[in-house]
Homo-oligomer: A and B are copies of this chain.
């Protein structure tokens, strides 16, 4: 009942074939590789298709070929501002190649992440795994099913892309030392996070070289609230400098410290990672290690597409995007006192 306007079935290659007076396979060919446009026949097909408003049915194409023109980006939590730029970059690079991107969000749960992956694997041509919470072994298993590039994590057997944590940490330490800091406390993030391990190891390594003591507390959730928890522990034996797993944690630390009347950067310097949107807005604004995250998303997708098109994946050692320290207001001279 009502208006059943009966949308006409969309035309198929057969309709076009009839219209153009050629075989269906000829139509198919004309659309399979639109590079060659010369032939007279091809031109006839084009015209016929145009006049009928024909569009190739991606589902039907995908069945015999497996080419769905879909890739997946899996992340551990959409809500984490860290991903914003990565998503943006990945999505735009996919769109530029006429690919559709599906977002698989793990909601910080390994189970949900797996489920999302399962759901998505059969329909995609490849995937970008950003900051997976799964084990290396599990990742390698799924990598055997479809082309994959790994983001923000280094797995020797797979094409990986990370930020240059070592350089980032070095910049932090080299910034802090002249300000009189002799010791840096690292506020750790999730244990399952590859970046967390990388950052801590970097701090130990650089610290050893530059005669700065590296301490560590945690793990804490990678959130503002996590940072607030950390601040409680921190205030028991206040360091002069803290390097947080990420900006949210850093912000949480600062907030809680401020609430306790402890001035940042007056009493303690706090530095974060990632340079999320909010970091420039807090008071004091956050000094942090930034990386070209959007670029990372773009590169990841481009590499993935290359592999899909048959390029040999370059594994072995992770590609790195550079990092740089953004000096804002949350770090300053070490307070003059015996530690």
Contacts and interface: CB of A to CB of B under 8 A. Distances in A.
Given A63-B63, A100-B120, A88 B92 contact: no
Contacts of A116: 95
A144 B58 contact: no
Contacts of A66: 59
Question: Which residue, A57, A79, A100, has most C-beta atoms of chain B within 10 A?
Answer: A100
Contacts of A7: 144-145
Nearest to A284: B283
Nearest to A254: B281
Interface stretch (A44-52, A102-110, A130-138, A231-239): A102-110
A12 interface: no
A145 B59 CA distance: 16
Contacts of A88: 78-79, 105, 107
A300 to B, nearest CB: 15
Contact of A57 (B85, B102, B119, B122): B122
Nearest to A62: B59
Contacts of A120: 100
Contacts of A268: none
A185 interface: no
A255 B281 CA distance: 8
A277 B59 CA distance: 39
A278 interface: yes
A150 interface: no
A244 interface: no
B95 A119 contact: yes
A139 interface: no
User: Range of interface residues on chain A?
Assistant: 35 or more
A112 interface: yes
B119 A98 contact: yes
A87 B103 contact: yes
Contact of A92 (B58, B62, B107): B107
A119 to B, nearest CB: 5
A224 B277 CA distance: 10
A67 to B, nearest CB: 10
B70 A91 contact: no
Given A100-B123, A278-B281, A281-B282, A59 B68 contact: yes
A191 interface: no
Contacts of A122: 55, 57-59
A292 to B, nearest CB: 15
A207 B101 CA distance: 45
A169 B105 CA distance: 34
Interface string A278-312: 10011100000000000000000000000000000
5 shortest interchain CB distances as A-B pairs: A278-B278, A283-B283, A102-B102, A103-B103, A78-B88
Given A78-B84, A224-B281, 8 more contacts: A59-B63, A59-B122, A78-B87, A78-B88, A81-B84, A84-B84, A95-B119, A102-B103
18 contacts: A5-B144, A55-B122, A59-B59, A59-B63, A69-B119, A70-B123, A78-B87, A79-B88, A81-B81, A81-B277, A87-B105, A92-B105, A95-B116, A98-B119, A100-B123, A102-B103, A281-B281, A283-B283
